[in-house]
Structures are given as structure tokens and as C-alpha cells.
């Protein structure tokens, strides 16, 4: 089983839609959690950290369920500029970041 | 402040050659990590350095080596290149693990 798994995608949604991405991780010692976005042939960029209490940044909401080892990202009112690959990242305490394979999102006009 | 900078941006090498990739972290960041990203996959961890000491190593062969200098910049070396080493090599720096890591634009290595 891979350390971090994500929805296989791709997701094709119309502008204005709400889309949710799911991620599961296998290492229960994971302490830090993030969502990154990566545009085609560009470097990953930090989108947001994920906290146990859940957190929101504008149209983006991230949730963490430690008991289920599950992370989610919700994008509301999606824009064309949201088209990218979304990477789920976990980090066990004191260790490197482990990336999921990514889920590609295409927002269509 | 400048972000993470990597050089070169693109590189073409032949099988069996050696390559050195360079990275300068964000000012004040003491941790540098290297990742390999093959098309269609997420980045795979290669090395992490903190305060010039290796803090972690991923599942890569001994052909891969790295080091960190007193100014916290870093080099990744790959010897005896194989076709399968063709990938985007990403460097990331971080101040504190809790705040995530910031990536350079990467070096796209093509081995022919």
C-alpha cells in the first residue's frame, strides 16, 4: 500500500462547481499535513496547511481526520485558474514530506 | 526576498555521465530537501539536509549524493546516469516543518 493515496482523477468540472479531493495516509505517526498545487511543468506551490480542527482559506477548506487517517480539500465556486494538479502531503514527525500522486483538476468554461 | 533558486533549469546528459544540480534556499531557511518527480507522479524524496548534516535519505541508489554548504546552499550529484534518471529535480527549503516547504522551479534533466 502506498504511503499517501489520492483520488485518481482527473476531475473535469464546470466553472462555479464545488469539488472535493480525498487523500488517505498509512503512517499513523504523521504529524504535519499540507495541500500543494502544481501547474503543468511547474514546481509545487503550498496551498494550505491542514489542521485537526479544519481550516479555511477563502474558497478552500481543508479537513483532517486523524482517526481515519484521511485528509480532504474542498474548493467552492471553482475558477478556471484552479485548474492544476493537487498534491496531498504528509510528514511524520522530524521526517521528510511524503507526496501523494496528485489529482488533476480541469475547470471548464 | 528571493525564493528558492535552482540551476541549471534544463540539462541534457548522456548515459553514464555525471551531473551536479545546485540549489539556494530562501534566506533564513536552514533545511534543504531534494525530490525527484517523474511525469505523472508526485515528487519522491531523495535527501534532506539540515545545518549541513544529512537528516534523511529516500530509497535511491548510492549513485545519488548530496551535500549542504555553510551558507545552506546545496548540491545534488548523480553519477553513472541512466535513462530512468530523466525527471524534474526539485529542491525545497523550509524554516520549520510545521509551515511546509517551498520549492524552486526545478531542474529538468534529460538523459539520452
pLDDT in tens, A38-66: 999 899 999 999 988 889 999 999 999 99
Q: Do A32 and B42 touch (CB under 8 A)?
A: no
Contact A46 B102 (CB under 8 A): yes
Q: Which residues of B fall within a CB distance of 8 Å from A42? A: 105
Q: Which residue do the cell numbers 516547504 mark?
A: B101
- Are A94 and B97 inside 8 Å of each other by CB? yes
Residue B1: the pLDDT is: 58
Task: Compare CB distances from B41 to A44, A89, A101 and report the shortest one's residue.
Answer: A101
Average pLDDT (A70-88) is 97
Q: Do B99 and A49 touch (CB under 8 A)?
A: yes
Residue A35 scores a pLDDT above 90: yes
Nearest residue of A to residue B55 by CA position? A95
pLDDT at A70 over 70: yes
Using CB atoms, pick whichever of A34, A46, A87 lies closest to residue B42.
A87
A59 phi/psi in degrees, rounded to 5:
-85, 0
What pLDDT, on a 0 to 100 scale, did the predictor assign at position B98?
A: 62
Q: Is B45 on the interface with A (CB under 8 A)?
A: yes
| Residue from B41, B42, B90, B98 to probe the interface with A (highest A Cβ count within 10 Å) | B42
Per-residue pLDDT of chain B (112 residues; tens, 9 = 90+): 579 999 999 999 999 999 999 999 999 898 999 999 998 899 999 999 988 899 889 999 999 999 999 999 999 999 999 999 999 999 999 886 666 789 999 999 999 9
Is it the case that residue A19 has pLDDT exceeding 80? yes
A43 touches chain B (CB under 8 A): yes
Tally of residues, chain B: 112
| Pick from B36, B12, B10, B34: nearest CA to B23 | B34
Cβ of B98 within 8 Å of Cβ of A43? The answer is no
Q: In this predicted structure, what is the pLDDT of residue B19?
A: 98
Cβ of residue B42 closer than 8 Å to a chain A Cβ: yes
For residue A71, the chain B residues in CB contact (below 8 A) are none
A101: nearest Cα among A31, A32, A21, A14: A21
- Is A95 a residue whose pLDDT tops 80? no
CB contact under 8 A, B43 and A32: no
Contacts of residues B5-11 at CB distance under 8 Å and 24 or more positions apart, as own/partner, are B5/B104, B5/B105, B6/B89, B6/B90, B6/B91, B6/B104, B6/B105, B6/B106, B6/B107, B7/B107, B8/B107, B9/B105, B9/B106, B9/B107, B9/B108, B10/B107, B10/B108, B10/B110, B11/B107, B11/B108, B11/B109, B11/B110
| pLDDT number for residue B97 | 61
Amino acid at each position: 500500500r502506498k504511503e499517501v493515496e489520492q483520488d485518481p482523477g482527473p476531475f473535469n468540472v464546470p466553472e462555479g462547481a464545488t469539488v472535493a479531493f480525498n487523500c488517505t495516509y498509512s503512517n499513523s505517526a504523521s504529524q504535519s499535513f499540507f495541500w500543494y498545487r502544481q501547474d503543468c511543468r511547474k514546481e509545487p506551490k503550498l496551498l494550505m496547511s491542514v489542521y485537526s480542527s479544519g481550516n479555511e482559506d477563502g474558497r478552500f477548506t481543508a479537513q483532517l481526520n486523524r482517526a481515519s487517517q484521511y485528509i480532504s480539500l474542498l474548493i467552492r465556486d471553482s475558477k478556471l485558474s484552479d485548474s492544476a494538479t493537487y498534491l496531498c502531503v504528509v510528514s511524520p514527525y522530524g521526517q521528510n514530506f511524503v507526496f501523494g500522486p496528485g489529482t488533476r483538476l480541469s475547470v471548464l468554461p | 526576498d528571493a525564493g528558492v533558486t535552482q540551476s541549471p533549469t534544463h540539462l541534457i546528459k548522456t548515459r553514464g555521465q555525471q551531473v551536479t544540480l545546485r540549489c539556494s534556499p530562501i534566506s533564513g531557511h536552514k533545511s534543504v530537501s531534494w525530490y525527484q518527480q517523474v511525469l505523472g507522479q508526485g515528487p519522491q524524496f531523495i535527501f534532506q539536509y539540515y545545518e549541513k548534516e544529512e537528516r534523511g535519505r529516500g530509497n535511491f541508489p548510492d549513485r545519488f549524493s548530496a551535500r549542504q554548504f555553510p551558507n545552506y546552499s546545496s548540491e545534488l550529484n548523480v553519477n553513472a546516469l541512466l535513462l530512468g534518471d530523466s525527471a524534474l529535480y526539485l529542491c525545497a527549503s523550509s524554516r520549520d516543518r510545521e509551515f511546509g516547504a517551498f520549492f524552486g522551479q526545478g531542474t529538468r534533466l534529460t538523459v539520452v
